[in-house]
A and B are shown apart, each in its own frame.
Chain A
């Protein structure tokens, strides 16, 4: 084996530039693929993280009749005495925090301008609000007894020209199917990192939201975070109550899981295409090598080298070429991923509705992806180079010896 590698290595050095260019083609492709894998992984990962901490939580308890798409505060859709329910759930060991939230649909208007929003009534004391509290860019967080304060997202503040202390008019669809309207003062402006999400919500203390919307002592959901999200099934089973349904984060984010699976399949497909195209460069180099070395193949064959050994010789050469390309590609791809993984890539609001995406995407490289790409690149190269190697092995020694070179 050592001899094959030695010969392969020296053969590659015979045409340094050609070898280097072929390896470079693979290096560029692999660097691109590594970065792409890290990019998509980072995107999906942060999308899931954001969705869990901002919107779905790890578990939600809802009334059996609740329909999240309607955001109706009609009493029959809501959970009665939500603070009692939340307290009971919070005492379960796997639960880190459980807090009631009320969702109502509304319209913010300032002068002639108006925007449809989701009004979220929160318990200001709950640590589940951390993303909003930590995301405050100006002003203060809400207090439980605030009766005319409101928190709005940074993009909404921008588009309506609002600042801390500004007034706005909020319209709400009430429990009776009417609309009610009331002025509020902006107490604070937050940014969770996802403009797409922030532009569509406003926060009120839940007590105010309940009276304003006519929901009374009721909430849409109990928002639950666990110590360990993998415990969701077990924790859900521990929560009982005939009129409730308990949903895990997996159930609530089926779309995201689906998109993730789909993008994985898509990326795999793309990987194969890109590697396939790249590998033709290497196959071409190997074909040239085979034809240049026809007479050498004849000599080796005259010395008693068998077809299998000739194939091994050429595959060693392809493997070394691939190794060079793969190593450089991995280094460059990892370096790019690491750099952008720490500074992020700014995209702003991607304008995708129904899913939460951060404004900045942080590529996240996983060892699993690196290994998968490395192995795929190698396997594809060797499979493809079996063709030129086979041509070499099939040459008749007599014909090969007659060749000019």
Chain B
């Protein structure tokens, strides 16, 4: 099943008179259950592509489909609705809300999805266990290590049972041990729950976990094939 698809998308940033093609006529389909790496040097368009898949941004031309639905022309609120139920995000910086505890951060998307208090509690505890952070549940982000924070972010992304999780350089700010821990966690969750992961990276140690690798250069796909983990 096609979870996400872009068809001939271009994304042009206009800064003053200068037009930059962040993406140039890219077509790509992500199937359900994939564990796919977007690789390429800095500035090659990885983040831009993830943002289009994530309905955070809209293409200049071309179309974006999420679970078969054309999302290229949805308005702001419709995109927010789509994100909160179907797409999870993991960012390079550990994007937790600093005033909320680990527990509350994971609970946030469930609240936005209107889940009952009891169901929320069950789900959050289940996720805390899955990312092995039960003992950190009442800690604020500044009381946790980078690796722990990123695991909370993964749990949060996973919380509403999305079909697609997008991770933008999730290990770039982590040391090797923590980076591998995060990648192993993502691999395990992918295998156990079947949720689709697409992650951007240029770190070879991360690429080795990928089962499919898409290589971008200057906004175009230059390689599209099986990854080392296959």
Which chain A residues have a beta carbon within 8 Å of chain B's beta carbons?
3, 7, 10-11, 14, 295-296, 299-307, 309, 397-398, 401
**Chain A neighbourhood of B108, CB < 8 A:** 3, 300, 303
Q: Are B99 and A398 in contact (CB under 8 A)?
A: no
Query: With A and B bound together, what is the CA distance between A168 and B161 in angstroms?
Result: 101
10 contacts between A and B (CB under 8 A): A295-B95, A302-B54, A303-B84, A303-B109, A303-B156, A305-B80, A306-B77, A307-B76, A307-B77, A398-B51
Residue among A296, A299, A307 having the largest count of chain B Cβ atoms under 10 Å: A299
Query: With A and B bound together, what is the CA distance between A338 and B176 in angstroms?
Result: 68
Give the top 8 A-B pairs by smallest Cβ distance, nearest first.
A304-B84, A10-B99, A304-B83, A299-B95, A306-B80, A398-B57, A397-B56, A302-B89
Question: When A304-B85, A304-B109, A397-B56 are in contact, do A296 and B80 touch as well, CB less than 8 Å?
Answer: no
Asked whether B74 is an interface residue with its Cβ less than 8 Å from the other chain, the reply is: no
1/0 contact string of B77-103 vs chain A (CB within 8 Å): 100111111000101010111111000
A-B contact sample (4 more), CB < 8 A, given A7-B97, A14-B99, A301-B56? A7-B99, A302-B89, A303-B108, A306-B76
Give how many B residues have a beta carbon under 8 Å from the other chain's beta carbons: 27
Question: When A307-B76, A398-B51 are in contact, do A300 and B97 touch as well, CB less than 8 Å?
Answer: yes
Query: With A and B bound together, what is the CA distance between A3 and B56 in angstroms?
Result: 24
A327 CB to closest chain B CB (Å) equals 23
A198 CB to closest chain B CB (Å) equals 65
Q: Are A304 and B111 in contact (CB under 8 A)?
A: no
B83 interface neighbour in A295, A296, A302, Cβ under 8 Å: A302
Q: Are A301 and B99 in contact (CB under 8 A)?
A: no
Query: With A and B bound together, what is the CA distance between A296 and B82 in angstroms?
Result: 19
1/0 contact string of B96-139 vs chain A (CB within 8 Å): 11111000000011011100000000000000000000000000
B140 CB to closest chain A CB (Å) equals 9
**Chain A neighbourhood of B54, CB < 8 A:** 302
**Chain A neighbourhood of B84, CB < 8 A:** 303-305
Q: Are A401 and B91 in contact (CB under 8 A)?
A: yes
Question: When A398-B51, A398-B56 are in contact, do A305 and B112 touch as well, CB less than 8 Å?
Answer: yes
**Chain B neighbourhood of A306, CB < 8 A:** 76-77, 80-81
**Chain A neighbourhood of B109, CB < 8 A:** 303-304
Question: When A3-B111, A397-B56 are in contact, do A11 and B99 touch as well, CB less than 8 Å?
Answer: yes
Q: Are B51 and A296 in contact (CB under 8 A)?
A: no
Which chain B residues have a beta carbon within 8 Å of chain A's beta carbons?
51, 54, 56-57, 76-77, 80-85, 89, 91, 93, 95-100, 108-109, 111-113, 156
Query: With A and B bound together, what is the CA distance between A208 and B75 in angstroms?
Result: 93
State the majority secondary structure of interface residues on A. Answer: helix
A390 CB to closest chain B CB (Å) equals 14
Residue among A7, A303, A305, A401 having the largest count of chain B Cβ atoms under 10 Å: A303
Query: With A and B bound together, what is the CA distance between A300 and B84 in angstroms?
Result: 10
Query: With A and B bound together, what is the CA distance between A7 and B156 in angstroms?
Result: 17
Question: When A7-B97, A14-B99, A295-B95 are in contact, do A303 and B112 touch as well, CB less than 8 Å?
Answer: yes
Query: With A and B bound together, what is the CA distance between A348 and B81 in angstroms?
Result: 69
Query: With A and B bound together, what is the CA distance between A398 and B54 in angstroms?
Result: 10
**Chain B neighbourhood of A401, CB < 8 A:** 56, 91, 95
**Chain B neighbourhood of A3, CB < 8 A:** 108, 111
Query: With A and B bound together, what is the CA distance between A257 and B108 in angstroms?
Result: 58
Query: With A and B bound together, what is the CA distance between A306 and B81 in angstroms?
Result: 8
**Chain B neighbourhood of A300, CB < 8 A:** 97, 108
Query: With A and B bound together, what is the CA distance between A299 and B84 in angstroms?
Result: 11
Question: When A398-B57, A401-B56, A401-B91 are in contact, do A304 and B99 touch as well, CB less than 8 Å?
Answer: no
Q: Looking across the interface, which residue of chain A has its beta carbon closest to that of B157?
A: A303
Query: With A and B bound together, what is the CA distance between A67 and B8 in angstroms?
Result: 96
Q: Looking across the interface, which residue of chain A has its beta carbon closest to that of B166?
A: A302
Q: Looking across the interface, which residue of chain A has its beta carbon closest to that of B81?
A: A304
Q: Are A303 and B56 in contact (CB under 8 A)?
A: no
A129 CB to closest chain B CB (Å) equals 70
Query: With A and B bound together, what is the CA distance between A306 and B156 in angstroms?
Result: 18
**Chain A neighbourhood of B80, CB < 8 A:** 301, 304-306
Query: With A and B bound together, what is the CA distance between A104 and B39 in angstroms?
Result: 106
**Chain A neighbourhood of B98, CB < 8 A:** 14, 296
Query: With A and B bound together, what is the CA distance between A129 and B85 in angstroms?
Result: 82
Q: Are B100 and A7 in contact (CB under 8 A)?
A: yes
Query: With A and B bound together, what is the CA distance between A14 and B99 in angstroms?
Result: 8
Query: With A and B bound together, what is the CA distance between A13 and B139 in angstroms?
Result: 17
Query: With A and B bound together, what is the CA distance between A295 and B76 in angstroms?
Result: 18
B172 CB to closest chain A CB (Å) equals 15
Q: Looking across the interface, which residue of chain B has its beta carbon closest to that of A3?
A: B111
Query: With A and B bound together, what is the CA distance between A295 and B51 in angstroms?
Result: 15
B97 interface neighbour in A296, A304, A309, A398, Cβ under 8 Å: A296
Q: Looking across the interface, which residue of chain A has its beta carbon closest to that of B78?
A: A306
A61 CB to closest chain B CB (Å) equals 73
Query: With A and B bound together, what is the CA distance between A7 and B101 in angstroms?
Result: 11
Q: Are B83 and A303 in contact (CB under 8 A)?
A: yes
**Chain B neighbourhood of A296, CB < 8 A:** 97-98
**Chain B neighbourhood of A303, CB < 8 A:** 83-84, 89, 108-109, 112, 156
Query: With A and B bound together, what is the CA distance between A7 and B112 in angstroms?
Result: 14
Q: Looking across the interface, which residue of chain A has its beta carbon closest to that of B51?
A: A398
Q: Are A302 and B100 in contact (CB under 8 A)?
A: no
B96 CB to closest chain A CB (Å) equals 8
Query: With A and B bound together, what is the CA distance between A15 and B57 in angstroms?
Result: 33
Q: Looking across the interface, which residue of chain A has its beta carbon closest to that of B96?
A: A299
A389 CB to closest chain B CB (Å) equals 16
Query: With A and B bound together, what is the CA distance between A303 and B77 in angstroms?
Result: 12
B127 CB to closest chain A CB (Å) equals 15
Q: Are A302 and B56 in contact (CB under 8 A)?
A: yes
